[in-house]
Amino acid sequence: MAKRKTKYVCQECGYESARWMGKCPGCNSWNTLVEEIDASSAGSRHAMGRDTKTAHRPESITTVEMQKEPRITTIMKEFNRVLGGGIVPGSLALIGGDPGIGKSTLLLQISAQLADKQLPVLYISGEESIRQTKLRADRLGINTELLYVLAETNLMDIINQIEQTKPAFVVIDSIQTIYREEVTSAPGSVSQVRESTSELMRVAKSNGIPIFIVGHVTKEGAIAGPRMLEHMVDAVLYFEGEQHHTYRILRGVKNRFGSTHEMGIFEMKEEGLREVMNPSEIFLEERSQGAAGSTVVASMEGTRPVLVEIQALISPTSFGNPRRMATGIDTNRIPLLMAVLEKRVGLMLQNQDAYIKVAGGVKLDEPAIDLAVAVSIASSFRNQPTKPEDIIIGEVGLTGEIRRVSRIEQRVQEAAKLGFKRVICPDKNLEGWTAPAPIHVIGVNTVQEALEEGLIG
């Protein structure tokens, strides 16, 4: 008998080694290399020598025939928005999120909505029994005949059921519980996740069936398994939110069929998730009037403008090194903006603790929020409140200049719709368009000008 070959595979990044090592050279993680049986290369050698008559041949792009397939839309418009207009037939999407955040609830509701449209749906659960899934369906008020439930973890049995049932939509919860018998490693390992996802991709593309798979996340918030998993699928969605709050955010970070960084807002109720059509009102409903350190910014989440409140608290430090803490934005941007305020405006912030928060649990990462954060810091430091009817937008440069931002028209229209009176934005953004009549747009070139316009007193 031929000697069985083994290899050691890192369970974090997929790095392969011929011998065991305590520290993975790929991701520097400790004790993550697990011994696995190396698959025989006979199959690959046979594949390389296959008949060229059956192999695909290159084709000119001008002769490729297009067949436009309509997207599958759900009742939830927020879900359709994140996917770029609906579910694409034959696509493979990955949705991740913290435990208990509502991933299974969301997908079960989507499955029921599609089943109500006379589309057969197959919901496969590897973590719950059929009766447990039925309990959740009863709580959500779901009772439709075309929603089929299967409790299975064997990949080949799942594929056989998909080919026999011919569903219009498939949900697999979760990919870490699925295993393939030919792969000797345990379910959830790098090899199992990679092989299972690759086989599901083949099934989705060959049959034109959209498949949604649920992925567990690590303690850092990233989807567990190899990074290759996110590269293989067509769309990657993150379901975010605090378990102690009712609002949930579905964010698209990858989408081959639409724009990325789209955001959908949902509210968790006893009967399931309910979409929030106007999230700006939700984020601003508890805003304190006349409080120092509070500003409102119009941030773009994909193609949608969202108004959120940025709060800052500046207080003298009790230690040698002042603290810089932020929730909802990158902490590294706080020292940068405070240095600009010190150098260009003259605020002595080097002995002040700074605490910045984006109200509502939203995460903002675009540069257009820089000016609002800087004005919040100055407002709290001087104890001068901002004008409550103002929206502040702009990117701050290291020389104190205010740089232009994108989609200024949509931001101003959203501010006017919610009753704001003024918008402080970069002066360069005032060219080539006219603001709506009820709102007044003020252009500024420096941080000093923005503080003079935005602060009271």
| Annotated binding-site members for ATP | 97-104
Show the tokens assigned to 438.
């009820």
* Distances in whole angstroms, Cα of residue 109 to Cα of each of 32, 121, 139, 302: 37, 11, 11, 24
Show the tokens assigned to 285.
């409903």
Q: How many CB atoms lie within 10 A of CB 192?
A: 23
Of 271, 295, 398, 385, the closest CA to residue 341 belongs to 398
* Distances in whole angstroms, Cα of residue 399 to Cα of each of 336, 340, 403, 430, 457: 11, 7, 11, 21, 25
* CA distance linking residue 9 with residue 121, whole number of Å: 36
Binding-site residue numbers are 97-104
Let me know: does 396 contact 426? Beta carbons within 8 Å.
Answer: no
* CA distance linking residue 186 with residue 21, whole number of Å: 20
Show the tokens assigned to 156.
């080949």
* Distances in whole angstroms, Cα of residue 19 to Cα of each of 26, 39, 189: 14, 16, 18
- Give the rounded distance of the alpha carbon of 14 from its chain centre: 23
* CA distance linking residue 264 with residue 48, whole number of Å: 45
Let me know: does 84 contact 259? Beta carbons within 8 Å.
Answer: yes
* Phi, psi of 170, rounded to the nearest 5 degrees: -130, 135
Those residues whose C-beta lies under 8 Å from the C-beta of residue 347, and which sit 6 or more positions away, are 341, 378, 381, 382
